[in-house]
Structure 1
């Protein structure tokens, strides 16, 4: 038996520590933000408890979006519990012991036994909801999407979008629920926002410089109807005005509705693409703050970003035909859930359990996919009033979380998924072309 002196033991431990740290440094590290939607409360007065604070009018433009509920089931709790489970599984990749457990999950999906070692560095956007501190004077402070002034000091505080950008993630997984309408069987769907290319096309349609057929016959035609009584095209054009001008259009698509102001959202976020101080002085003048198409021009840091190639890769074209890499990462994670849950829950000699299908995407000018420098997997992962969906997201939340975590791994390095003809969806198992984004994910602050 060899005995080491305390000096030699100390040197040995230093060398061992150095070797361990060096080996970890050789492992690729990918940054993920897991975002359970909402968390706050829709509470009056809006001027005190709202969201989307506008420095021009110095007020909140929206009542806080609390999320959907059904009976005693709330979106904020279901997605928070699921997000915590996903976060916990991703954290396994940060240690050698945890990686062994994570490899076991990978083997549920792949015949391979050797997997590329990575670290999936996970952060949560929230770990609580307003219910946890119901007596708070500002119950939405931790949950607002946009920056806002501290009610006591007036100092600008960061909202969720700014906090996400501060973490410089490669991928954001944002989890939400929807209410199902009559006859809707449940399932899940992607939430998408197109890029400048599509909004520019819609702008030309509203100016009568392009045919509406280019929209109605195109991949973005299933636009969300948020204004009842308006067509999908009319809703899309209203969103286009919001995207470019901050204001709605009137139903005719040609005129500004100055009574409906959504704000200059790029300046409600702390990031490098906000305009310089005193930008408010340009409002109403020809340029990026004009209130008509005729006098509008896309100038400034934000619009240069929007017109850039990397934004086009994120939000246009891509493996799914439209929606760019955002659509691919979202739909691929849904395919992993559609595959992973039946595989994990199937009992011997019984058929695979059935899930609700992948629905058509929800398309609008959403904030998260627009105002973050990350690929956004924004998923309406279930319908709050469909018991089958809620069972999979609560009783089987670990299996759902494993499916999402394995899917996230695949997005970064790829995965050879076992073929299974009995299931309606098979993940593609193809990694994203992260390399072409170069320093995009870091160039946000």
Structure 2
């Protein structure tokens, strides 16, 4: 048959046996790749792990290349009686990790399906692999004689205590994995009258910080913030209003310094550092960026001189960061808020259905509290969606019981929730429970390659 007839003859090249087998291998590799399960990367981050030890100059965190010192004493976490935050959340994180690992094998998947059936009325579930990584498997207590007990637990990059070579902190190590989701587990101390429960930890995006900046510059009314969803800001400076605390955080976000109480001037005695350059990632500025400090641009010390230029600020003003941290299914906080609150709903739902005894009421948990809002590092300096959960209160026995004695049931609830975030889940309706998961998957597709672009 002639090619001119509109049908082209199939041409078979003269392949050597080596080329032939290579072609067959590539073909079958392609077929396998089409049939293989979707794989998602999850980092489980049990908070803290290190020790608040003096001198800060040797054992602190948040190493600053400008002053060439640690800016903070290491944040050790809370404790009450014999319970420490670092131990409780580490044990829980290991349990979640173990359950997610089940999805990586056929045998394990069958067990994982059994957990899904506890939550869903369906029997068939989309097969996926939830590849889990832990940020730590130990605490400083495991090596109390170490010269640098915080080396494995610092949040930010730091110089090696012996060689001065820059080492990666937790944020850099998380970004190295390029996860789609980070689950960070923490505990809080409860104040008088606080009955425990759990809460999200959120950081807004550029949109909200820009609004607060405009309020400082008298370009917007304070009511534009006070009547908005972010108004219940964390009060970390006593004697200051929520707006004054939010304004101080805005100064830290833009300038690395606090504002004074008047919300108009920079407090040059309170330096928090240029955090985007304290980690190893794509958005850090080029070497010798320090020479631009104090000049007009991204290192100006006042709002008037500040310009949002450079890779980090391009990222902050981008659509994908807005999706992560603003608006969204929960009304504010973006996808970060949704993944955090949805996992809390899975725990609030999953613990009672697993622990309920025949002919008895569902056991009661502490409620989901209002979110903690500030300029937190983990939700800001990763591209992953960040489920940052204060999962209990260390001085409330009911919370501690569920997190320790019922650790496996709590972990199952979190693991099933993580599955649902990637795939979706038709959750059984239980009318007597105060919280029901939505069971809606995140719109991961719109992020395209964003999670891989962090390096």
Query: TM exceeds 0.5?
Result: yes
Specify the alignment match of 1:110 in structure 2: 120
Deviations 1:27-66 (A, max 9, x none): 0000000000000000000000000000000000000000
The match for 1:371 is 381
User: Match for 2:184 among 162, 174, 180?
Assistant: 174
Partner of 1:358: helix, strand, or coil? coil
Aligned twin of 1:222: 232
Alignment of 1:250 with 2:260, yes or no, is yes
Corresponding residue number in structure 1 for 2:368: 358
Which ranges in structure 1 are unaligned for 5 or more consecutive residues? 1-14
Quote the Cα distance in structure 1 between the aligned partners of 2:163 and 2:319: 40
Q: Corresponding residue for 2:55?
A: 45
1:192 paired to 2:202: yes
Aligned with 1:144 (options 129, 151, 154): 154
Aligned residues: 431
Q: Which residue among 183, 196, 200 is the counterpart of 2:193?
A: 183
Look up the match of 1:156.
166
Would the alpha carbon gap of residues 342 and 291 (structure 1) be closer, same or farther in structure 2, given more than 3 Å must change? same
Counterpart check, 1:57 vs 2:57: no
Cα separation, 2, equivalents of 1:137 and 1:387: 35
The TM-score with structure 1 as length reference comes to: 0.95
Measured after TM superposition, the shift of residue 25 of structure 1 is: 5.9
Q: Within 5 Å, which residues of 2 pair with 1:31-430?
A: 31-430=41-440
Offset, 1:22 = 2.4
Partner of 1:435: 445
Gaps of 5+ in 2: 1-24
Residues in 2 aligned to 1:246 and 1:30: alpha-carbon distance in whole angstroms: 34
Name the counterpart of 1:10. Answer: none
Helix, strand or coil at the partner of 1:161: helix
Q: Distance in 1 between matches of 2:31 and 2:150?
A: 40
String of CA shifts for 1:301-346, please: whole Å, max 9, x gaps.
0000000000000000000000000000000000000000000000
Question: How many angstroms apart in 2 are the aligned matches of 1:108 and 1:412?
Answer: 18
Distance 1:42 1:236 in 2: 26
The CA distance in 1 between the partners of 2:410 and 2:57, in whole Å, is 39
**Within 1, Cα distance between the matches of 2:427 and 2:29?**
33
Structure 1 residues 127 and 96, CA, compared in 2 at 3 Å: closer, same or farther? same
Q: Cα deviations across residues 201-233 of structure 1 (Å, max 9, x unaligned)? A: 000001111000011100000000000000000
SS in 2 for 1:443: helix
Q: Distance in 2 between matches of 1:390 and 1:151?
A: 37
Q: Quick one: distance in 1 between partners of 2:34 and 2:239? A: 57
Q: Scaled by the length of structure 2, what TM-score is found?
A: 0.93
> Distance in 2 between the 1:386 and 1:154 partners?
43
Deviations 1:86-111 (A, max 9, x none): 00000000000000000000000001
Change in CA separation of 1:408 and 1:59 when aligned onto 2, cut-off 3 Å: same
Q: Give the SS at the match of 1:190.
A: strand
- Kindly report the root-mean-square deviation, in angstroms, between the aligned alpha carbons of the 2 structures: 1.5
Larger Rg computed on CA atoms = 2
Q: Secondary structure at the match of 2:174?
A: helix
Distance (Å, rounded) in 1 between the aligned partners of 2:140 and 2:320: 36
The answer for the alignment partner of 1:3 in structure 2 is none
